[in-house]
Amino acid sequence: MPIDHYLPHTPEEREEMLKAMGFGTVMELMKAAVPEALWTKSGLNLPEPLSEAEAQELLERLAALNRSDAKIFLGGGAYDAYAPAIVDSVISRSEFYTAYTPYQPEVSQGTLQAMYEFQSLICQLTGMEVSNASVYDGGSALAEAILMAFRVKGVHRVALPKNLNPFYRAVVETYLHGVGPEIIDVDYDKETGRVSAESLRAALEKAPSAVVIQHPNFFGVLEDPFEISDLVHQKGALLISFFDPTSLGIIAPPGEYAADIAVAEAQGLGLPLSFGGPYLGLFTSRMEFVRQMPGRIVGVTQDVDGKRGFVTTLQTREQHIRREKATSNICTNQQLIALAVSVYLSAMGKEGIREVAEQSTQKAHYLADRIASLPGWGLTFKGPFYREFSVYHEKKKAPEVIKALAERGFFVGPELPKDFCEYSFNIAVTEKRTKEELDALVSAMAKI
């Protein structure tokens, strides 16, 4: 095959390496390295190789199969939100366009300053005392928050609400599998969709290290974080809040209701959907727990000449300190994505974030009222909601309705897991959606 120009070794060099190992061909090496039982008997049935032009044509044909004209009302943690053009413009600069910081980070003062400003912006947004320089995504942020609570309290027991996003719960269960945690389920009120105070009190009697709340929760319903915070702290547990960062334009931030650790998925802050990533996890905490935080924290200091300098104040991952002292294995840096969020927050400002939250809320409630007035349709829960809500059809199951709406040019969902309700699914409304699009969705739903 004519691929030598892609490979760093010449045929002569490969022959020399094989000879040094005692093999005549690459196939002999493979047979010695891989047990025969693992070899395929029927072959891989691969098509003939393509030229670069042919490969490009194939990819273009596959891309053309995507629906680009559909209106997106998808929720569940990833949202079709607006990103100002300045976001891509700034992160595309060659000084920033890398996922990595140098292993001598102080050499790159611009990158460290961007990380420091990101931390400052997130603290301003959340009202929390300290933020790290980000983690991978919302799911890993929540899992790391629970591990942090285990380190602080010394007990591997956590209370998780049943109205937590099931995608995040799956990450938590996988992430914590090796720790062997005890997970206490906290039920929710079937009428409001909120955490059940009675179930929460029962969970707290089992002395968990922490209680997790999602506010707004998977159904889009807003919890009562102040009441929950009081109950949790009366029993000596930590409160971990999983919040929607865009909602903080109009609702109380986690710092106001005394969350001990607050985490989030930042995709809605200027990041595209991108078929699932890369996204960004926000991670904040009270200052007294700072040495138990995962990831990196950038600080500001002065050098010997009195000049301001940015440094990695804490980087408690196992590449930098002894493994048994490390707080996490968060490695490859999310700095480019964190920079995008910083640019978004700086460009939007407080008024812009409030505008996003207000528009999303007003449009979502307008749409919910219209849907609830349709024959055969209803809202699954009566609790207050932000920009996402759950609906149901009296006779048709969620997968059937979601498919029918997709055929009409509207993407909705996700459906609620069957143990919730097989007829219900979520609809999310961002600031991008217009009244015409909302009315068109209602018309499409009326025909189902």
pLDDT above 90 covers a percentage of the chain that reads 80
The label of the residue with tokens 């493994």 reads 323
Find the mean pLDDT for residues 21-43.
91
pLDDT at 369: 99
Has residue 418 got a pLDDT over 90?
no
Find the mean pLDDT for residues 326-350.
86
CA distance linking residue 29 with residue 322, whole number of Å: 37
Cβ burial of 190 (10 Å; 0-12, 13-18, 19+) is: exposed
Beta-carbon contacts of 176 under 8 Å, excluding residues fewer than 6 positions away, are: 143, 146, 147
pLDDT at 1: 44
DSSP 447: T
pLDDT at 137: 96
Has residue 322 got a pLDDT over 80?
no
Q: What is the 3-state secondary structure (H, E, C) of 311-340?
A: EEEEECECCCCCHHHCCECCCCCCHHHHHH
Beta-carbon contacts of 303 under 8 Å, excluding residues fewer than 6 positions away, are: 309
| pLDDT range class, residue 103, cuts 50, 70, 90 | low
Strands 238-243 and 261-265: parallel
The sign of the torsion formed by the CA atoms of 434, 440, 443, 445 equals: negative
Contact (Cβ atoms closer than 8 angstroms) between residue 139 and residue 171: yes
**Which domains, from first to last, does the chain contain?**
1-36 (no CATH), 71-81+351-446 (3.90.1150.10), 85-345 (3.40.640.10)
pLDDT at 100: 62
Secondary structure (3-state) at 210: strand
Has residue 75 got a pLDDT over 50?
yes
Find the mean pLDDT for residues 207-213.
99
| pLDDT range class, residue 34, cuts 50, 70, 90 | very high
Beta-carbon contacts of 88 under 8 Å, excluding residues fewer than 6 positions away, are: 340
61, amino acid identity = R
Structure tokens at 78: 């990833």
Has residue 105 got a pLDDT over 70?
no
Residues found in the chain? 448
| pLDDT range class, residue 108, cuts 50, 70, 90 | confident
Has residue 403 got a pLDDT over 50?
yes
The label of the residue with tokens 């998780």 reads 160
Residue 47: asked if its preceding bond is cis (omega within 30°), the reply is no
CA distance linking residue 132 with residue 76, whole number of Å: 25
**Torsion region of 91: left, alpha or beta (phi above 0 gives left; psi -120 to 50 gives alpha):** alpha
Find the mean pLDDT for residues 352-372.
99
pLDDT digits (tens, 9 = 90+) for 128-152: 999 999 999 999 999 999 999 999 9
Residue predicted with more confidence, 45 or 411: 411
Contact (Cβ atoms closer than 8 angstroms) between residue 307 and residue 298: no
Secondary structure (3-state) at 389: strand
Residue predicted with more confidence, 38 or 263: 263
Q: What is the 3-state secondary structure (H, E, C) of 31-76?
A: HHHCCHHHCCCCCCCCCCCCCHHHHHHHHHHHHCCCCCCCEEEECC
Helices (H), 316-434: 335-372, 398-407
Contact (Cβ atoms closer than 8 angstroms) between residue 136 and residue 143: no
pLDDT averaged over the chain? 93
27-41, 88-102, 278-292 — most confident range: 278-292
pLDDT at 95: 82
Cβ burial of 123 (10 Å; 0-12, 13-18, 19+) is: middle
pLDDT above 70 covers a percentage of the chain that reads 93
Find the mean pLDDT for residues 3-25.
84
Has residue 324 got a pLDDT over 80?
no
Predicted TM-score (pTM) above 0.75? yes
